[in-house]
Amino acid sequence: MLTEKDGKLWRRYDKELLCIEAYGKNSLRVRATQLAHFQDDRLSALMEPEERGDAAIRIDGETGWIRNGNISCEVQCTGKMKFYDGNGRLLLEEYDKNRFRPNAPGEKDSALEIIPRTFVPHRGTDHYRLTVRFEAREGERFYGMGQYACPYLNLKGCVLELSQRNSQISIPFTLSSRGYGFFWNNPAIGRASFGRNLTEWHADSTRQMDYWITAGDTPAEIEEAYASVTGKVPRMPEYGTGFWQSKLRYRTQDEVLQVAKEYKRRGLPISVLVIDFFHWTAQGDWKFDPECWPDPEAMVRKLREMGIEPMVSVWPTVEESSENFKYMEEMGCLIRTEQGPRFGIKNKDTYMDATNPEAREFVWKQLKKNYYDKGIRLFWLDECEPEVTKYEYENYRFHAGTHKEAGSIYPKEFARMVYEGRSREGETEILSLIRCAWAGSQKYGALVWTGDIYSDFASLRNQVAAGMNMGLSGFPWWTTDIGGFHGGNIYSDEFKECLIRWFQFGAFCPVFRMHGFREPLVTAEGKEFRTGDAKSWKYTSGSPNEVWSYGEEIYEICRKYMFIRERMRPYLQEQMERAHEYGTPVMRPLFYDYPEDPAVWEIEDEYLLGPDILVAPVLYEGARERKLYLPEGSWTEIDTGTVLEGGTWVTCQAGLDRIPVYARKEVLVRIREGDTDSQK
């Protein structure tokens, strides 16, 4: 039975309750359940929309329609839904292959007996295994969905796990080339399949179906509508667009200050210096080890005098020996396991439960006392998937629910902890570097990166699609470990080539950040670590990873691109402001700005940095030229000043010291003005 109530279209048929409502400009929220009523929004990423929209509802017997601006939904007598744009063009329809189809004009019977929405109960609970199916369209392209370890920008043909892992971020929003955006508003473990014969969304354990859909004439309209209901990034702090220096790991306060002084002695621009893991006394103490960090306040003061912002790594892991473990255990602030001891969760440690408000409040108090009150303002929120042993999702339970039901929200709540803590201190330009995220994390200042990836050209190629898809998933703040994390030997010529190509790419990413676990491992005395040596993270580290660590040739190329980046920063700050105001991705595919050009929808290995800079990274070992496409208009290569007209393919020289980058004339003047030496 179809009814209209509170400006929403409702359908009750047997066990299923369906509700469709206007939810933001040109957008609809769709929910269904086989329970008596819908659940509250504690697991939802949707905020109250900036403008809800004005729904027009019509019911004609067993068929109903709801329209909100440029999108409408038809609910047929069988319960099947079809979505249309404002011109009546079909955008998306459910997959319904059922024999019984009375009064459904144009629909054919089928012996398959497959219905669009399948709720399979977990016996004895109020949870279901949910599958929702849509018709596939040949030629349709899908973008977004967070980042996965693959080089594909277009995800058509991909099956994606909906779960968080180290180097995998699941953001279940996709932008379709057919003119709509679709957000699966469900943090349950599951999968999304973009097949040629079927598009399917699946949740392993959930109480209800919940998704949001919008229609737009351009990708920008779709992205802005999505940002309006899931959140936009805060204003980017000025230091965020500069150069970030990091490695695994600086062991002492003196080492950090020596690195900072060397950057300043060489006249190199640097904005952020990162203090990585195991600077603490124990995991779960959340404080500096006084043996290696005797005076953090003095360190922070000296760094700020040099114009450098310090950042410290914060893990959610808790050791039994931590001074906070007993209290957190007693107060229910730790993740629980369904079977076995909780200390198998991560090595010999366990995790704080970031979905518990009391746990967040307690941990922030430790961060404030031991870091914030000593001058630290920037936090690197690592290990926040959480990286549970073997990803045995059925074995973990949070304050918010089981891992199967709620696991993907953990990183969002971890970012929320720091955002709300810093907000209470009166800050507004809040940024946290974080290894994982879910929809809505961006409004808590999440700057994401691609996790602990390998140091080779194959991983570099994956970064280009990852950065663009994260931008289209609502995350304009994105970065990557320049050079990759694992496996880069500083004495290897092969790795040096990979590093410099990555560095050039990194200079034209939203955030420009050097990081990695460089080989060989070294001792506190700077000697190479040998098998059999006593291994303690307190006294060992990866090899040096500063720009001068790889020889003079590599250093000069790095230096060149550091100053190009420095001159780009005013332009980047403008793009960051658009991200804050509208949700506009800073790094984006060419089709974002040129949707009417059919050629750009095929291009996956070049991108725009804002509207006026086009970047074509060199992604293969030994390559000294590359082919690229220029969209319409006049483009100038920043290295040579060569002016080319767009709408065509060109082949550009790409020696080791050169990445093909083209800019609009007015932006080029800003990038090229002034010489390098004047920037010291």
Tokens (6 digits) for 468: 């663009």
- Bridge partners (DSSP) of residue 513 are 244
Q: Helix, strand or coil for residue 333?
A: coil
Tell me, yes or no, if 276 is annotated catalytic. no
Cα-to-chain-centroid distance, residue 361: 25
Residue type, position 309, single letter = E
Tell me, yes or no, if 60 is annotated catalytic. no
Closest CA relative to residue 479, chosen from 307, 240, 656, 274: 240
Point out the catalytic residue in the list 135, 262, 420, 452: 452
Cα-to-chain-centroid distance, residue 552: 35
CA trace torsion 93, 98, 104, 106 (10° rounding)? 70
Point out the catalytic residue in the list 224, 385, 593, 612: 385
d(CA 296, CA 288) in angstroms, rounded, equals: 8
Point out the catalytic residue in the list 382, 405, 413, 593: 382
The answer, yes or no, to whether the previous bond of 520 is cis (omega within 30 of 0) is yes
Q: CB neighbours of 110 closer than 8 A, spacing ≥ 6?
A: 97, 98, 99
Tokens (6 digits) for 99: 């024999």
DSSP assignments along 532-596, one per residue: TS---TTTEEPPP-STTTT-HHHHHHHHHHHHHHHHHHHHHHHHHHHHHHH---SEE-GGGT-TT
- β 317-318/661-663 pair status: unpaired
Q: Between vectors from CA 364 to CA 358 and to CA 366, what angle results, nearest 5°?
A: 110
**What letter would DSSP give residue 109?**
P
DSSP assignments along 433-472, one per residue: EES---TTGGGGTEEE---S-BSSHHHHHHHHHHHHHHHH
Tell me, yes or no, if 577 is annotated catalytic. no
d(CA 66, CA 625) in angstroms, rounded, equals: 53
Instruction: Enumerate the active-site residues.
Output: 382, 385, 452
